[in-house]
Each structure stands twice: as C-alpha cells, then as structure tokens.
Structure 1
C-alpha cells in the first residue's frame, strides 16, 4: 500500500487537495455539491482535458507547445468550412477532418523544431502568432453559426432529475474526452513508441545513442497534440453550437498549469495521464469555486500564474541548479 501511495504521490496529493476544497465549498455554498454542478464541471472540463492529454505527450518528450489552443481555433474554423463544402457530413467525417488538420499543424511545429534545431517554445510562440493572426485576418473575427445539425444537436448520455426539478446531464463531449484519455494512456503506457518518447524526454542524448529515431519521436509527440487539438476544437464547437475565432484564445496557460500541476516535468521524461486529468479538474474546481463565491476572475489568473512559476522553479533542472547553491551556503555556515 505504501509503495502504491509513493508511486502516485502527486495524484494522491491532488485528490487530497480537491477533497479539502470540496469540504470548504460545501460549507461556503450549497450549490457546489449538487449533481448538476458536478456534471457541469465535468462537461465543461472536457475540452481542456483533451488539450491536456495531448500537451502531456509533448511535455514528456521534452518539448513544450503554447500554440495548440489557437491551432484548435484555426482547425475548428477550417473544419466548419469544409463540412459546409461537402454538404454537412457526420461525426466520423468531422473528427477525421479536424484530427487530420490538427496533425498537420502539430507536425509543422515539429518540422522547425527538429530540422532547424530551434527550441520548441520559440517555434510555438511564432506559430501561435501566425495561426491566430492569420485566422483573425482572414475571417475578420466573424463567427460561423450555420453548422450541420449533427454538430449543434446536444447528445445526452445520462440525465437525472433532482427533487427540486433541475436536470443534471452528462453529454457527448465527456465521452469523446474519455476516448482521448484512454488512447493517450495506451500510447504512453502500453506501446513501444510511448516508452521511446519517455526515454527521449528523459535523456535525449542517451536515446539517440540507443538508436531511437529522434525525428519520429518529435513528429509523433507534436502530431499527437495536434490530433487532440483538432478534436478539442470540434468538441468546443459542438458544446457552444458556434465557431468563434478567438473562443479558445488563452486556454494554453490554463492547460499548461494543469498538466504541470498533475506531475508532468518541464524538461521531459515524467508525467501520467491520471495526474494530468486530476490537474485539469483541480484547476476547474478552483475556478468553479471562485465563481460560486463571487471572487473576481483576476484572482484565478493570479493562481494560474503562480502554479506555472512554481512548476518552473521546482522542475528538475531548477532543483539541480538550486541544490549546489544551498549546499555551498550550508558549507559556509
């Protein structure tokens, strides 16, 4: 039992924090522990969880990507236009189109990272601006409301009516999110490719000497995030029943904070799908609790910034630089 807790210390800690927050909120407001609020929290977290499991693969590989949210916005818009051109399509066609375009965006990042030896954050800052600027310039910020019926029709998987007459629902985005989570877990934990991505992220030079195809690892990692971004974009369009060019702008920092909070190491080689999901749910719970208590949204942004700063400070590379300094101070004393 102790070994299990130690090996999943981050996940246990996140569950503990969520329980504490839940207990506090149950005293502060009677709306938090309602089935409707909990289901709504799950449904609204679906897009960020899909983003997060894609970003997890990139972080495990030793890279970082901040362009995925605006890439999803671009994919969403292109997919909506493509569906109009072909006469509507269906969920299978929509997911194939969105996923394929997303993969191309992800591999575009990987191309510059690998062949031009540019660090990933610099490339993705550039593509962030390219994707968003081009999208807003070409669309003039105009939204698309004329979407196929299958995309805007809510799909309810489970519903429950409370004694007070309110309805609680679990919708299709939750099912798609669950599929993405399982697929990412399988990739990381049950495939040779996943083990090679982890090895490359943990020790790039060692992986290269061992014969791992470095180009393949980078293209697969960023392509996987592109795939998840494309799917998330389509799910977002389904959830809000429209395509808004800047709807996903700014999500990247929330998702990055959630993934590193869930135990993914900035620098590669470590991270779990469970921790990633719990990180997103904790961030969503925090935001939900602040909303219920009427706290300003700026407080949430402050928390996100603090999480990212703490993650960077406590990442392995940061600790390795910090320890010698502390050691020298100890010897001086």
Structure 2
C-alpha cells in the first residue's frame, strides 16, 4: 500500500485537491454540481487534454515546447483552406491533412533543437513568433466561416434531458480526446520507444552511451506533439464551427501549467497520462468555478501563474520531502 501511495502520490494529491475544490464550488454556486455543467466541462476540456498528452511526451523527453497552440492555429487554417480546394473531404481526409501538417511543424522544432543545437525553449519561442506572425500576415486575421458540413455538424454521443428542460450532452471531441489519450498512454508505457523517451529525458548522456538514437527521440517527441496539435486544431474548428486565427493563442501556458502540475518534470524522465489529465481537469474546474462565481477572468490568469511557479518550484523536489510520513523508517544500528 505504501509503495502504491508513493508511486502515485501526485495523482492521489490531485484527486484530493479536485475533490476539495468540487465540494467548495458545489456550495458556492448551485450550477457547478450539475450533470450539464460536468458534461460541458468535459467537452470544453477536450482540446486542452489533447494538447496536454502531446506536450507530456515532449516533457518526458526532456524538452519544452510553447509553440504547439500556435502550430494548431496554423494547421487549423491550412486544413480548412485545403478542404475548400478539394471540395470538402471528410473526417478521415481532415485528420490526415491536419496530422501531416502538425507533424511537419513539430519536426521543424526538432530540427532546430537537434540539428542546430538550440535549447528547446529558445527554439519554440522563435517558432511561436514565426508561426503566429506568418499566420496573421497571410490571413490578415480574417476568420473562415464556410467550413464543410461534416466538420460543423455537431455529433452527440450521449445526451440526457435535465429537470429544467436543458440537455446534458457528451459530444464528438470527447471521443477524439479519449483516442488521443489512449494512443499516448500506449506509446509511453507499452512500447520500446516510450521507455527510450523516459531514459533519454532522465539521463541524455547515459541514453546516448546506451545506444539510443538521440535525434530519433527528438523527432518522435516533437512530432507526436505536432500530431496532437493538428488533431486538436481540427477538433477546435469542429467545436467552434469556425476557424479563427488567434482562437488558440495563449493556451500554451494553461496547458503547460496543467501538465507540470500533473507530475511531469521539467527536467525530463517523469510524467504520466493520468496525472496529465488530472492537471488539466484541475485547471479547468478552477476556471469553470470562478466563472460561475462571477470572478474576473484576470484572476484566473493570476492563479495559472501561481500554479506554474509552484509547479516549477516543486518539480525537482522529491515527494518524500513533501510527505515525510512516506519515508521508509531507518532501522537504528
């Protein structure tokens, strides 16, 4: 039992915090603890969770990327444009186009980092500005509203009528998010590549000496995040039923805060899909609760900043130091 608690301490702590916040919000507002609000929270969190599991792979590999949200905006716009050229397409064609474009943008980051030996945060700050600048320059900030019917038609997976006449619904983005979560979990826990990513992030020099292809690890990690960003961009277009060039701008810090809060270590070699999801849900629940309470959205940005600061401060602190009762008792000599 003690071993289980020690190995899942972050996830258990997040569950406890989420439970406390939910109890507080259920008393603070009568709209929070409803099935409709819970489903809405899940639907609106889907894009961020897709982003988060992609970013998790990069963090495990010891990198950091803040350009993924802007990359998703670029992919979203390019995919909508290409779909217009080919006459509409369908979901399969849309995912192929978005996935290929996303992987390509992710590989640009990997090329800069591995090929030119640029620190990942510096490289992605550069591509963040380059991608967004090019997008706004060529589009003029003009949105795309004429999207294919299959992309704008809402797909309801489950619905239930509430007592007040409203409907609680789970929509297609939740299914796509679940597939992305499962695929990422399988990649990092059930494949040799996943074990190599952990090893590379934990000890790059040791991984190199062991024969792990460092370049391949960089391209796989950033390519995977690019793939998730492309999918998330298409899902966002489906959810919003339009393509707005700057719609995803600014989400990178929210997602980064959530993933690091979920236990991913900024130094690499640590992180879990469950912790990542719980981190996103904690941030989303906090934002949702503040909105329902009528608190200014600027307060949420302040909270996200505090979360990032706390997560960075604690990321290299062992859980045994934070929870002394988990330490193994030494037998006196």
When normalised by structure 2's length, the TM-score is: 0.94
Gaps spanning 5+ residues in structure 2: where? 320-333
Match of 1:11 in 2: 11
Match of 1:127 in 2: 127
How far apart in 2 are the matches of 1:29 and 1:151? 35
Aligned length: 319
Superposed CA RMSD in Å reads 1.2
SS where residue 31 of structure 2 aligns? coil
How far is the alpha carbon of 1:317 from its aligned partner? Answer: 8.3
How far apart in 2 are the matches of 1:50 and 1:303? 22
CA deviation string 1:105-159 (max 9, x = no partner): 0000000100111100000000000000000000000000000000000000000
How far apart in 2 are the matches of 1:187 and 1:99? 17
How far is the alpha carbon of 1:308 from its aligned partner? Answer: 1.0
8 A contact 1:54–1:224 mirrored in 2: yes
Q: 1:278 to 1:317 in 2, by over 3 A?
A: closer
When normalised by structure 1's length, the TM-score is: 0.94
Q: Does 1:220 align with 2:220?
A: yes
Q: Does 1:158 align with 2:158?
A: yes
8 A contact 1:312–1:318 mirrored in 2: no
Structure 1 segments, 4+ long, off by >3 Å, are none
Match of 1:37 in 2: 37
How far apart in 2 are the matches of 1:279 and 1:193? 25
Q: Which residues in structure 2 correspond to 1:17-166 (within 5 Å)?
A: 17-166=17-166
How far is the alpha carbon of 1:162 from its aligned partner? Answer: 1.1
How far apart in 1 are the matches of 2:262 and 2:170? 24
How far apart in 2 are the matches of 1:27 and 1:110? 47
Match of 1:231 in 2: 231
SS where residue 316 of structure 1 aligns? coil
How far apart in 2 are the matches of 1:132 and 1:182? 30
How far apart in 1 are the matches of 2:3 and 2:198? 22
Q: 1:33 to 1:317 in 2, by over 3 A?
A: closer
How far apart in 1 are the matches of 2:314 and 2:155? 42
